[in-house]
Structure 1
Amino acid sequence: MKFFSLRSIMLCCGLATLLSITGCQRQQDHITLRMGHSLDQEHVVHKAMVYMAERLEHYSKGQMHIQIYSGGQLGSERELIELLQIGSLALTKVSASPLEGFVPRMQVFSVPYVFRDSAHLWAVLNGAIGQDLLNSMHSARLHGLGYYDAGSRSFYTTNKAIRQPADLKGLKFRVPNSQTSVQMVQTLGGAATPVDWGELYTALQQGVVDGAENNPPSFFLSRHYELSKYYSLDEHTSVPDVILMSLPVWKSLTTEQQGWLELAMKDSVRYQRDLWQQASDDALAKVKAAGVEVIYPDKAAFAAAVQPLHQSLQGTEVGNLMAEIALVQGETAEVSND
């Protein structure tokens, strides 16, 4: 049984009027689904959600709408998940990392160097393993609609460059609310500190943490490059974003309405993946222009350094899942970027 934080309960009560108690508002033949997330409106993931809303209106012939609340207006990632569980919000986007607190198998995405490359990642996400992980969230009163590309996560720091694993020693790194992410940083010799994404700029500014890790667009759009002048592209994890829906709200829709939503989701996945690579390239160019030193370390050294973490998972449910993932080849053609 999941327990909700006091802040989440208070937030839910405070938003009861806004969200009409449930995550979807029905007026005659029209349905409006409320969607909240923590990203800036310039982020490609937000743009993909806007496109998803447009496609849903197209498929439903104007009968279904998505109203998006960006920038953490409705709470942190964990709070948004909890609002979905009780049906007070219909949709959200979260990183897969915090989901391990709700569905333990999702911690596989926070284990470093599980995926060989982007093609391997998407072969897994588009295949049986990816679908099974989405389905497993029903046990937490969540329905997984699909995955968005979030690239690979790499370390950035304020005062010391990370060129090899030993350079993490003695430094404090912000990590998402994921025990596996904590273990990864500790295995590399750093100190892990979970900090909410919306509070990270201040934490870097005040020296609460010495650095963090994320993908290039998030590093740029968060303006963390203003404080962190070293970005080391070790690409330790490939953690996708997940579009989640409240299971109670999902079940309240007809089969036809669910089908419209699934079609809109598939369209938005293709759209978002087309945008992602360009956004990553642009972000790296802009942070370099702003004076950030972008470092390309030997990733093999980092992969070797986290082998104790891999070994500790052997024989566990996650370790067995990692072994299945290792056998997956190539990328499925369904969502290729042609």
Structure 2
Amino acid sequence: MNRPGRYVLVVSLAAAACGGPDDVTVVKLAHGLDPSHSVHRAMVFMAERVRDESGGRMRLDIYPSEQLGTERQTLELLQIGSLGMTKVSAAVLENFAAPFKVLSLPYIFRDEAHQWAVLEGPIGREMLDLAARFRLHGLCFYDAGRRSFYAKDRPIVTPQDLHGLKIRTQESATATRMVTLLGGSPTPIAWGELYTALQQGVVDGAENNPPSFYLSRHYEVARHYSLNEHTAVPDVLLVSTVVWDDLTDRERQWLEDAALESARYQKRLWQEATAEALRMV
């Protein structure tokens, strides 16, 4: 008796996540970054590739700037199939898929070449495949650079400089543990709320990569950016397994090929964005 009801639920959720007329498969993709960010620009590129390769039979509709929720919320929507795709930091993903915790450990990569040899090799592919256990299908990694500390009132040069400071972290047990061990007071806050939190003194500082620091205009309220590059936590592009299972083999191939192309494109954009951010701030 339960099987028909479950089938109707899955079909209705997949339809809500995809939407659109019967002759066009439309997948909704939501994320929390600004439209000027390299990740969003890479997603626009991916949507164009999907449109071109499918001859207009498949379309990605993109919702940036937390329009459909925070990273945690969009992951929850993916798990029930009411959203098609999202991009989240591996630090947030670790709350849903524990193996991703390793990517938030400080100084685990020798350099950028080592990082991408891992993420784009068999280990990275295995990690993306592990997400399926949690109703998430991993497509690719996006470059999110290296994270460094920044603060309102003083530069952070040594761990002692963190003592007594409330530092915004992502919703990641690994990130909060790292800040605690370094002597700071970790304070998880949603990205979209951080500018106001810094401005009002809810937190004394945060940690992120140069483009995010620059594009968010956090330099207006936190003038001390210390380039210590303690972690290199990538972003992860994911699709709901409810939606993925509803796609045809051909649609899956269009999406996978476009995602991998977008990842290569985003890495080039990221290098340009990092150079510009460091020059401007």
TM-score, structure 1 as length reference: 0.78
Between the aligned partners of 1:44 and 1:256, the Cα distance in structure 2 is 28
Code of the residue aligned with 1:74 in structure 2: it is L
Aligned length: 270
Between the aligned partners of 1:240 and 1:20, the Cα distance in structure 2 is 28
Aligned to 2:100: 106
Q: Deviations over 1:267-325 (max 9, x none)?
A: 101110111111001011111xxxxxxxxxxxxxxxxxxxxxxxxxxxxxxxxxxxxxx
Aligned to 1:304: none
Q: Aligned to 1:199, what secondary structure does the other structure show?
A: helix
Between the aligned partners of 2:51 and 2:254, the Cα distance in structure 1 is 9
- Residue range with higher mean Cα deviation, 54-63 or 24-33: 24-33
Between the aligned partners of 1:128 and 1:263, the Cα distance in structure 2 is 17
Aligned to 2:193: 199
Q: CA deviation at 1:20?
A: 8.3
1:138-153 mapped onto 2 (5 Å cutoff): 138-153=132-147
In the alignment, structure 1 residue 273 sits paired with structure 2 residue 277: no
Q: Aligned to 1:147, what secondary structure does the other structure show?
A: strand
In the alignment, structure 1 residue 132 sits paired with structure 2 residue 121: no
- Residue range with higher mean Cα deviation, 100-109 or 24-33: 24-33
Q: Aligned to 2:150, what secondary structure does the other structure show?
A: strand
Unaligned runs of 5+ in 1: 1-16, 288-338
In the alignment, structure 1 residue 164 sits paired with structure 2 residue 158: yes
Q: CA deviation at 1:58?
A: 1.2
Aligned to 1:3: none
Between the aligned partners of 2:91 and 2:16, the Cα distance in structure 1 is 26
Q: CA deviation at 1:29?
A: 2.1
Between the aligned partners of 1:26 and 1:20, the Cα distance in structure 2 is 11
Aligned to 2:84: 90
Between the aligned partners of 2:52 and 2:119, the Cα distance in structure 1 is 26
Between the aligned partners of 1:85 and 1:63, the Cα distance in structure 2 is 25
Q: Deviations over 1:185-237 (max 9, x none)?
A: 11111110111111111110111111000001100111111001100011010
Q: CA deviation at 1:160?
A: 1.0
Q: CA deviation at 1:28?
A: 2.7
Indicate which of 34, 54, 61 corresponds to 1:60: 54
Q: Aligned to 2:113, what secondary structure does the other structure show?
A: helix
What is the root-mean-square deviation in Å for CA atoms of aligned residues?
Answer: 1.3
Q: Aligned to 2:108, what secondary structure does the other structure show?
A: coil
Superposition misfits of 4+ residues, deviation over 6 angstroms: none
Q: Aligned to 1:162, what secondary structure does the other structure show?
A: coil
Q: CA deviation at 1:63?
A: 0.6
Q: CA deviation at 1:253?
A: 0.5
Between the aligned partners of 2:60 and 2:45, the Cα distance in structure 1 is 10
Contact in 1 for aligned 2:14/2:246 (Cα 8 Å): no
Q: Deviations over 1:251-278 (max 9, x none)?
A: 1001111001011011101110111111
Q: Aligned to 2:94, what secondary structure does the other structure show?
A: helix
Between the aligned partners of 1:240 and 1:113, the Cα distance in structure 2 is 13
Between the aligned partners of 2:22 and 2:67, the Cα distance in structure 1 is 28
Q: Aligned to 2:35, what secondary structure does the other structure show?
A: coil
Q: Aligned to 1:193, what secondary structure does the other structure show?
A: strand
Unaligned runs of 5+ in 2: 1-11
TM-score, structure 2 as length reference: 0.94
Q: Aligned to 1:250, what secondary structure does the other structure show?
A: helix
Indicate which of 21, 26, 31 corresponds to 1:27: 21
Code of the residue aligned with 1:232 in structure 2: it is S
Indicate which of 253, 256, 265 corresponds to 1:262: 256
Percent identity of the aligned residues?
Answer: 55
Q: Aligned to 1:47, what secondary structure does the other structure show?
A: helix
